[in-house]
Every structure is written in structure tokens, then in C-alpha cells.
Structure 1
Amino acid sequence: MQYLALEDVSCTHDLLPFTATRPVLDIRMGILTFREKWEQLVGPNNIVVAQDAVTPALPANILPTRALAARVREEMQRGPLNQSSIDRIITHGRLIRYPWHIFQHNAEALLDDFELLTAGRHSLPIPPTVAVTNPGNIFIDEGARLSHCVLNASTGPIYIGRNVEIMEGSLIRGPFAACEGSVVKMGAKIYGATTLGPQTTAGGEIKNVVFFGYSGKGHDGYLGDAVIGEWCNLGAGASASNLKNNCGDVKVWHPASRSWLNAGLKCGLLMGDYSRAAINTSFDTGTVTGVCCNIFGTGTPPKFVPDFTWGLDGSVLYNWDKALRDIAAWKKLKNQSLTEGQILTLKHIFGQL
């Protein structure tokens, strides 16, 4: 098979704050990241990232699916990919241009990833204390622990990854995925289409949320139609509105164009990596927080919280040494540490402020 070239630059700014700290290919939707999807679909040695704008390449923000991969293979059988064949492939795919598209199309990604990852595999048996609807649409991986919870897969598949724990009293409706090592706390109420990335902790009421991984919302409070980056934490009682009181369209700040864009009827919190909110923080509809914000104080945060904010309104800059110290402390909780590459990325972001 030919190499599939993916172009990761032109769509980066539209997907801030999430692409401030990762390539577009490392965005998670469904169960897998875009990179992991392509590796599953066409083989890990068959994708390359285009180094220039001249090479015919698929945009990295096109959602990889089994149907799209079949279209890619069909075009490749005709010969080397050129701009015409790339354009034909794009017409059969879905571009994830803005951050709110991540949760808006997560159900589609969940369904496709579920079929991709479970094909030809056998689920662990469902424990007898677990109440289920449509058990054929539930997959439980090795090491998962579930007891006295409710799994309703009549509205979409439910994927329980390796070493996941679903505590007693949890109510889960599909489509839903809990990736490796994640935890659903007692009494949680989770609606589809929700993704818990690796080692994410989830509690309270959650609906149509994508957690990239290593983040926590372990207590009561509502979060809906949202995207939460890696190494984030929402304190007990923190909630985010996802619907305006007048039921009008939600306007979201778009840093690249420095303008407010229409995100549709529902949009909650879009939180960049390494950001945290204190207990009982109340976020307005369509709030965007940048990278490494420590949000606390009296009142509602503004609808755009800049990178490295200390406090509430963006008027105080997080001290660089304290920011790194705090990130390292959170990472230590999950037996990880900051890499030199991550520090350099954060230093670049901090230097632009």
C-alpha cells in the first residue's frame, strides 16, 4: 500500500486550545485518537505527516472511519494520490474544523471505533450484579471491574476498556467509552455520547462530553456538550451551562480569528490541557479556557479565559515556576512526569503572553 500523507498544519489554529499542546492527529474522538484510528485502519507504517503544503495530503482533521479508509484504498488502487483524488476522498469524509465539532460528532466516532476495536474479539462476561439493556452492544475488556451499576446500550454501544472501574450505583447510557484505567465514581449519571480518555475520573452528571485523558470530574456537578483536555480537574460542585436561557445559538470565542463564532444550540465548556477549576465554579455557556489556567474566585469566569490565567478573569498571570510545579504534582498522582518536550511546548505558549 502507498503511504497515506496527512497534513497537520493548516487546521491547527481553528482547533485551539486543544492544538496548542498536541498535533491535530492526537485529538481523541470516539475511543481512539485520530492517529490511532489511521494506524488501525491502514497500518501503523503506512501513514506519514506531510512536511510541506505541496505534497498531496488529506487534512489531519478529517475524521478517520472504516468507510473513509475504504475510499482511500479505492483511490490508491487507481494510482498515486493526487489533489483530485484527495478532493474526492474529502467529499466522503467529515472535517472536524472547530472544537465544538469534537462533541457534536462524537457519537459517530464512538460507533465506528466500537465496531473497529471489537471485531473478532470476545467481551468478558457481564457480572451478575450489573443491570443491562441490549448486552450484545456492550464490550468489557480485560481487567475491568463493574458491580451494581446500570448499563443501557439500547441507545448506542458501551465500551469498557482495560482496567476500568465502574463503581456501584452508576447509571450509563450509550454510546459511551471508558478508556484504559478510567474510573466512574459511585452514583454517576452519564449520558451518551461520552468518552472518558485514559485514566479519567468521572462523577456527577455528564452528557455528551469528550475527556481526552488523565483528567478529573470526580464529584457532583453538571457538564454537558463539552470537551476537556488532558490533565484538567473540575472541583466538587463545578458546573457548566450548555444551553442559553433564551434557547438561542451559542457564540464561542475563536482565538485564531479573534471573533465570536456560532457553535449551534448547545455548547458547554471547552477546556485546554493542564487547566483546573475550584469547587463550585460555574461556567457560562460556551466558555473557552486556555492552557494551564488555575480558575478560582468569586463570580462566573469570563467566556474566554486566556492561557496561564491565575484566578478568575485573566488579569493575573500564573507564575511560571508555580505552574510547572503544580502540573508535576498532578502528574505524580498518576505516576507520570513532565517531559522535556512538554515543558518546551508550555514555555512557547507562556512566552507568547
Structure 2
Amino acid sequence: MPPIVLLDDADWRNNFYPFSVNRSVADLRIGIFTQQERWEKFSGNNVYIATIDYLSNLYESISETDAWYVAANVLPNTALLEALSNLHQGEAIQNETQLIAFYGQYERALKLFNHQMDAMCASHHFQHPLSILHAATDMFLMNVSIIHADIALIRSTTQPAVIDTSNRIENADAVFIAQGAIAKHVIINACDGPVYIGENALVMEGALLRGPIAVGANAVVKMGTAIYGGTSIGKHSVVGGEIKNSIIMDETNKAHHGYLGDSVIGNWCNIGAGASNSNIKNSGASVAVWNDVTKTYSRLLHKCGVLMGDYTRVAINSAINTASVMGICCNVFGTGLLPRHLPHFSWGVEKKYAFEQAIQDITHWMAFKKSGLSKHEMNVLKHIFDQSGE
């Protein structure tokens, strides 16, 4: 069986700004898993990542000359895995919207995913249902269905722990508490969707969970937290307050009161006490979201909160505007409603972070969780800083 390589060096990857600027789309956590983890669990094999040049050192490379190159924004299913197995060398799979997969060498795969005509090949049209993420906002828009699929995938191979009798549960059959997790005196309503609590997670007493929800391994849900459906909490993250239809990735803190809705928060972020976001305009009209490719506001949505890049921190009592986009490595503070777009390495709302100070502050925050930046991660951040201008 050829190795599977998730490739995101394609024209759609920039639609995942600000999350794709310092990591591959295959490395973004949606539902319970990252795309790489999801494909590994689904296929039962190691899965690799191929991405743009300045990110390539973050990921393990493969030695084989031929592989199944699959678009990193495509979710796996049985029909797609079967279609891959039927591919001959040099053949591709596509649907109405994009190239899905190619079997062959990396150089040719890269040309095909970037629409270079000299790499044309025999192509099979995929006619089965397929879930594809086309932009960062799709992450929270599709999170309900992805949580359902991920929990079903876990149930197919893993047995849950016994639910503690101190909890009040509605539809206990749809609740999956993993081994080592602690959840006592918690109210869980899984009538509208399943609830997953990962390995060694802690859900404190008085928390209110209404599915579909995924709480990742080693995460902490604090006392009195209210979490509504469509929400994923990443590994080692700490949450409190009110959260609805949002993704919080790994090692991030939203530990205090305040509202977060229809949002995606990256890795290693911190949202200060009392900070809240708007997710709908007062007029009820649609809101446009910042497009970093065109440098304009586009893609109208009825509801959208905030897209917050990795390593960004927001001060206490911040008022985050509807459909806000914050880049990576920002230290955000200011009076009134914050601007709807803040570029990478913003200091406050008008200045640029000094790179050395930004790295020092990130290092302090990562030390709280006994972690730190690797040399390759540091190089990536310096590249982005240098490209971001004054």
C-alpha cells in the first residue's frame, strides 16, 4: 500500500488564513482530530504532510518515490479510500470543485494541484458524497458533522469508560468518556448530538455540556462553564465562560467568563477574563469576512465571531467585533470595539510587535505548560515576521 501524503500546496490553502500561515492545513484541529490524525485513524497507516517550502521542515518527509497525494482539505471516507486503492500510477481523482488525489511522484502532484497544464493525466471523477473544507470559516460551519463522524470513528475501535453516577445525563448512549477522564457532577445533554470527553481531560463540577461537543485529551473545562453544540476543545486547553459552535485548538486558554461564539481560535492563544466576541451584526444583516488573498472583505455569512491565529493573546474585557480576523503572534489590547482585522505581530491595535519581544513573551506563555518553540518553529515565525513589513 503506498503511503498517504496530505498536500496543501494548492490555490485554496490561503483561504485558511490566519491558521495556514504557520502550519499545514493538515495540521489544523477540527472536530476531535487534525486532518493528519483523522486520515491515520481512518486508514490505519502512517500519513505524511507535504506543504509550502518555508513550512516543510516542520513535518517528516517520506523516502518513497510514489505516494497517494490527497488534498489536505478533504475528509476521509470509505468510498474515497477505495477509490485511492484503485488508482494506477499517474492517475488522479477529482470532483466538481477541485483535484482530490493523485498517485505518483511529488513533483508531478505539485504541478497538478497548482493547475500546471504540462502535468495533465488521466482523471477519474469522484461521484460519491465528500466533505471538503474550502475556507477557515468552514471549520466552525462544518464542525457539527465532523464531531459526529469523529466520535463514530472512535467508537469503532475504542471502549469508553464508565460514566460516574454523580453526573446528570440525557441520552447516555451518545456520551463517550475516555479512559482517565474525570467528569463528576456535570450536566450533559446529548439529545441533539454526541458528547466526547478525551483521555485524562477534567470536566469540573457544575459544567453544562450540550452536544455535539468534543473535549480533547488533557483539556480542562472549569466550574460552571456552559458549552453549546458544535464546539471542540483541543488538547491541553483550558476553557471557562460560555462557548458556542467554536473550535479552540491545542494549548489555548479561554479560562474565564466571557462569550465565544462561531469562532476558531488557534494554538497557544490566551483570551483574557471578561473578553467576549460579537457573532452577529446588530442589524441582523450578513457580515463579510476578511480575505487575505484579495485584501478585501468577502464571503458573506449570517454569523461569524473571530478567527484568531496561533500565539495571539487578547487582553481582559476586550470587545471583539463581528467577523474579526487576528493574525499570529499578536498582543491585542485597546478601548472600545477592536478592529476587525489585525495583521501578524500586532502590538495593541496600531503598532508592530518587536520580534525579540514577541518570542520572549511566547516563550513565557509556553513555559507555563512546560513547552517551548523548536528551532524550525522559530525560523517559521521569523520568516513570517520578515514578510509582514512595517
State the TM bucket, normalised to the shorter chain: over 0.9
* C-alpha distance in structure 2 between counterparts of 1:259 and 1:9, whole Å: 23
Task: Please say if 1:9 is aligned against 2:46.
Answer: no
Which residue does the alignment assign to 1:170?
Answer: 207
Task: Please say if 1:186 is aligned against 2:223.
Answer: yes
Residue 12 of structure 1, CA deviation: 2.1
Residue 75 of structure 1, CA deviation: 4.7
Which residue does the alignment assign to 1:58?
Answer: 70
Which residue does the alignment assign to 2:378?
Answer: 343
- How many residues are paired up? 347
C-alpha contact 1:168 1:187 (8 A) present in aligned 2: yes
Q: For 1:17-70, what per-residue CA distance to the aligned partner results, in whole angstroms no more than 9, with x for missing partners?
A: 001111110011110000111111123336564899xx9843211123xxx243
| 1:151-300 → structure 2 map (5 Å cutoff) | 151-300=188-337
| 1:97-116 → structure 2 map (5 Å cutoff) | 97-116=134-153
Residue 73 of structure 1, CA deviation: 1.4
Alignment CA distance shift 1:163-1:45 (3 Å): closer
Residue 124 of structure 1, CA deviation: 1.0
- Report the TM-score, using the length of structure 2 for normalisation: 0.84
Residue 319 of structure 1, CA deviation: 1.4
Aligned residue identity for 2:312:
S
Percent pairwise identity: 38
Task: Please say if 1:328 is aligned against 2:353.
Answer: no
Task: Please say if 1:131 is aligned against 2:168.
Answer: yes
Aligned residue identity for 1:256:
V
Which residue does the alignment assign to 1:43?
Answer: 44
Which residue does the alignment assign to 1:25?
Answer: 26
Residue 5 of structure 1, CA deviation: 4.2
C-alpha contact 1:177 1:196 (8 A) present in aligned 2: yes
Aligned residue identity for 2:274:
G
- Most deviating of 201-210 and 294-303: 294-303
Q: For 1:64-90, what per-residue CA distance to the aligned partner results, in whole angstroms no more than 9, with x for missing partners?
A: 3xxx24333145236447235646348
C-alpha contact 1:39 1:47 (8 A) present in aligned 2: no
* C-alpha distance in structure 1 between counterparts of 2:299 and 2:183, whole Å: 40
C-alpha contact 2:9 2:50 (8 A) present in aligned 1: no
C-alpha contact 1:75 1:81 (8 A) present in aligned 2: no
Alignment CA distance shift 1:40-1:56 (3 Å): closer
Alignment CA distance shift 1:205-1:148 (3 Å): same
* C-alpha distance in structure 2 between counterparts of 1:349 and 1:251, whole Å: 25
Q: For 1:304-339, what per-residue CA distance to the aligned partner results, in whole angstroms no more than 9, with x for missing partners?
A: 00110111x2x2111111111110111111111111
C-alpha contact 1:58 1:90 (8 A) present in aligned 2: no
**Partner SS, residue 230 of structure 1:** coil
C-alpha contact 2:248 2:265 (8 A) present in aligned 1: yes
**Partner SS, residue 260 of structure 1:** strand
Aligned residue identity for 2:367:
K
* C-alpha distance in structure 2 between counterparts of 1:46 and 1:6, whole Å: 7
Alignment CA distance shift 1:217-1:84 (3 Å): closer
Which residue among 317, 335, 346 is the counterpart of 2:352? 317
CA RMSD of aligned residues (A): 2.1
C-alpha contact 2:204 2:221 (8 A) present in aligned 1: yes
C-alpha contact 2:332 2:346 (8 A) present in aligned 1: yes
C-alpha contact 1:30 1:110 (8 A) present in aligned 2: yes
